[in-house]
Amino acid sequence: MAVLVKTTINGDSVEYACQPDESLLDVLRNRLGLTGAKEGCGTGDCGACSVIVDGRLTCSCLVLGAEMEGRTLETIEGMADGDKLHLLQQQFIDHAALQCGICTPGFLIAAKALLEKNPDPTEEEIRFGLAGNLCRCTGYDKIVRAVQAAAKEMRGA
C-alpha cells in the first residue's frame, strides 16, 4: 500500500505517494521528474545519486522515499540560484572538471556538503571527502582543482 509523504525539496514543499520499498532515488527520478540524481550502482558505492537530507550527504538509493516525511532535501536541481550558478558549478565548467558528466551532479552535491563542513580543506581532505563518488573519465585531477578553486572563492566572498 502506498505511503503518503510530505517533505521539502529545494525549498518547495512537496507531497508524493510511494511504495514502502521504493528508494528515494526512484521517487525523485520516476515520480517527481528530478532526474539530476543518477543511478550508477543502486548499492551506495558510486555516489551518483547523492542528495543532501537535513544537511547530511546521502546516497538517495540507500534510503526510502517513505522516510522523507518532514525532512529537508537538497538536490542538484536546486543548487543554482535561478540563472546564477553555484560557485562549484561554475568552477567545474571553468576547470573542465567533467567529461561525460554523469557523475557531476553527485560530485557537486558531495563537494557542497564537504565545503559546508570544512570551508578550507587540504587536497587530502578533498580527496577523502569525495572518495564516495566514482568518476571514470577524469582521473579526479580537474575535479579536485575545481573544488580547491571554489573553496578559495567561497572563503573570499
Q: Angle CA(25)–CA(77)–CA(59) in degrees, nearest 5?
A: 30
Closest distance of CB 24 from another protein, Å = 15
Do the Cβ atoms of 142 and 97 come closer than 8 Å?
A: yes
Backbone angles phi, psi at 119, to 5 degrees: -70, -15
Q: Which stretch binds another protein (CB under 8 A): 52-60, 66-74, 126-134, 149-157?
A: 126-134
Q: Which stretch binds another protein (CB under 8 A): 1-9, 45-53, 62-70, 149-157?
A: 45-53
Total of chain residues touching another protein, rule CB under 8 A: 58
45 scored as a contact of another protein (CB under 8 A) = yes
Alpha-carbon distance of 48 to 33, in angstroms, equals 16
Beta carbons within 10 angstroms of residue 136's beta carbon: 11
- Would you state the cell numbers that stand for residue 109, as one nine-digit string? 552535491
Do the Cβ atoms of 138 and 146 come closer than 8 Å?
A: no
What residues from 58 to 97 belong to the interface with another protein (CB under 8 A)? Answer: 75-77, 79-80, 85, 89, 92-96
Q: Which residue ranges make up the site for another protein (CB under 8 A)?
A: 19, 26, 29, 34-43, 45-46, 48, 75-77, 79-80, 85, 89, 92-96, 98-105, 108, 123-124, 126-128, 130-145
